[in-house]
Amino acid sequence: MSVVEQYARAHIVTDADVQLLDERGAIPVVLRYDPDRDPRAVRIGLPGPHEWTFARELLEQGLRAPAGSGDVRVWPCGRVQAVIEFHSPQGTAVVQFDTKALIRFLRRTYMAAATPVGS
């Protein structure tokens, strides 16, 4: 099965290291899905060593209604935005995404998971 990697821009909604932000206040984010590693998980990488792995189902549910507990929470924010809240011992990062980017990523993960080996 093939790995899905998609780059996106997101906005930090909480206090953050301003060095992470570009001139529009956005940060580069990488969305990853590796069905060989874990077919039920997605990874979101923020600048630096910050990467979270959590259930793909949580991301999908969170685009419709608030979902999650613990280290990762996802919820819709209006009609075109979604928020993902990441908790770590160093603090909390609240990041806002365009919902379209997350939906496109999820679609690609389901297509990759459905592709037979050797195709």
Would you give per-residue pLDDT tens digits along the chain (119 residues)?
689 999 999 998 875 544 444 445 688 999 999 999 999 999 999 887 888 999 999 999 999 999 998 899 999 999 899 999 998 887 888 999 999 999 999 999 999 877 655 54
Distance of CA 115 to the CA centre of its chain: 22
The burial of 93, by beta-carbon neighbours within 10 Å (0-12 exposed, 13-18 middle, 19 or more buried), is given as buried
pTM above 0.75, yes or no: yes
